[in-house]
Structure 1
Amino acid sequence: MDVNEWKTERRTTRQISVGDVPVGGMAPVTVQSMTTTKTADVEGTLQQIYALAASGCDIVRCTCNELEAAEGLAQIVPRSPIPVIADIHHQYKMALAAMEAGVHGLRLNPGNIRKPEHIKAVASEARDRNLPIRIGVNAGSLDPKLYEKYGGATPEAMVESAQQEIAYFHDVDFDLIKISVKASSVPLMVEAYRQLADVTDYPLHLGVTEAGPPPAGLVKATAGIATLLMEGIGDTIRYSLTADPVEEAKAGRQLLEALGLRERKNVDLIACPSCGRAEVDVIEVANKAMEAFGERKLPLQVAVMGCVVNGPGEAREADLGIAAGNKRGHLFVKGRNIAVVPEDEMVDALVEWAEFINEHGIEAAIDKADTEKAAREAAKDRSALLEEQGDDANHSTEKIVEIRKTASN
């Protein structure tokens, strides 16, 4: 039998966009994860985001629980290779600050922000910015009134919580919505999503919350997420594991590939979205690289970075990458500088080294390289760029000033 005959017919939903990633409709099911670093730790958070992107993550969520986190987001967003969602709890002003920082979406928990006027204020601002919001219902933080009404965290209580939030959004003509109704109990989670799918056509974000560490956490999360996906329910997913978030991204990608919902790739090419420090047209170089790799059977994670100042560190989990600096391309393997080539030879060098790594392995590539010389040259070009452009090439300081104004009003 043709494998396509086994494919599940997906539920028809509205489509929204998180940055440049479509969610819902007939768009591919996307993989999400969440950083575990302090968002105020800009460099640490970016390193984790690049590691997630290299592992198959399409959208990343960062906590925004304090002013320092919002200020960190102002610096993280322009350098992130994938769209960034701010996770908001309790303080609605942090949602306003996160939007000022330039995030691509918000996640609000109806159990934590309960004043209708606060919810509507956030939705109104998101509407004006054309920014999506996920209504993130969680069985563990359900509104006490609904808990009492239904005698516990039942599927019905969770669905009503989501519907109440939708009503607040509709009051201010906001409908860029996706919804989750997560629980740590797989049967509860599955039934809640089934009921929700019957009463709304908004895209749904699937997850078993607090699934725990692998392997038990992987089993629980897969049991819930895969069950719903096979029923055609679900537009974006997250494995909530007590583990390195890279493991979440890998599990999500592998599940979607196993279910035939995402195509398996050869080279997994990631690229920064460019920022004030970029030394090359990142989009052009990335497109040329994709064309050059074509259908080559090279199952590697390859990064194209706009600058040598941040690139090797942010994308250090990639098998191979290249960063521009001072009209030169700096190649790196697992974050270690290995070679320097002229800017117009960047793509050819990437392909050459990718083929070598695929045949001989990472360690052989490092052994082949003059890493000390490559590191010296990279340091020299980093210093030249910092001297020329300063520390804040993205003008993040200006955004931080506006965030502080927003938070203090």
Structure 2
Amino acid sequence: MFFQNKNKFLKKKKQKPKIALIHPAVGDSVGRSESLVLELAERLKDKCEVKILSSKKVNDLCTPISCVPRSQVLQELKYDKLRDFLSNFANRPEVFIEHLTSFFPVVWELFKGKYDVILPNNDWGGLMAASAVRTIKKTPIIFTEHSGLIEGGKNARRNLFFKPDKYVVYTNELKYWLKKYHPEVKTSFIPMGVNFNRFNPEIEPANINLSKPIFLASSVTAKNKRFDLLIEAVSLLEKGSVLLLCSGENSAELAKKGEKLLGKKRFKTTCVPNEQIPSYYKACDVFTLPSRSEPLGLVYLEAMACNKPVVAPKDCSRMDVICDAGILCDVTDVEEYAEALQKAAETDWGEIPYYQARKFSWEACADKYYEQIRDLMG
């Protein structure tokens, strides 16, 4: 009996772990959490049997599930009455509906798949589905917290309710918060990475017809990013232009404000395909994102990988990422923000931004996730 159990243990240890990465928005939108799923899957596929539960088939690792993806919901939310009604139930109705409609398809796939470890990456939606399966099949969960300490840790507290077996964070700020208020949680600190094949100083710059220096800001959505502060700050400078790569419900208002304060020769807002974004980083002089909260700020890393300095709000999470590769300031003080932007544009940064970004690699990130997977498998 002893030798039989030992042989089973050794066999399990040698076989490839079968893992499920949950994120219905993969293939539907591009963001920090979606990038993590795709980058991890690509780097773990030789060590693990990987499946991505997504709304669309981005690559051969994806298993499409039936749901109403957030982009489809956003199309419907153009109607004010519907948006106002759904906003009574959630801050982001499009994500709320995606969570609800994907729950049963995800649970069904997890039951069929016989996975060794489940990795939800779409906040409480995937975590709730994984928890339901764990109740019956005992499949362990590695959950990555993408919300950080938004709203004082409200989202983190909600997600902790599901008691994931491993709780992954990628900012020191959240790590220390958990240690202080939730010391019982098994926390793993795993910083995210940059794809240096896509983002690097050798990229050909995009052709941007704006006066120099160009201050670039990029985000999947314009909502809650406080781009109006950037426009106001640059309007105080004698020279310099703003380029916004974004979309969202208030992008039209931003365009109106930008053209009023800066004029068409110093302001532009547009959307570009994801594959073209690196060339826009390369073409700018300074990257900035004045958002109130960024749990990591992957866009900062991507800009620095293209050797561009960064100007950002001064807080713990951004200090960890940017260090000496830019300037941190109080962006709500428009004059201070303007001075920081001008100083960043006039400073010779050498290769400091690039080498700061090199500290964050997807290879190192994937290796640490693999250690967590193996640890859960005994």
For normalisation by structure 1, the TM-score amounts to 0.27
For normalisation by structure 2, the TM-score amounts to 0.29
* Greater RCO structure (CA 8 Å; 6+ sep): 1
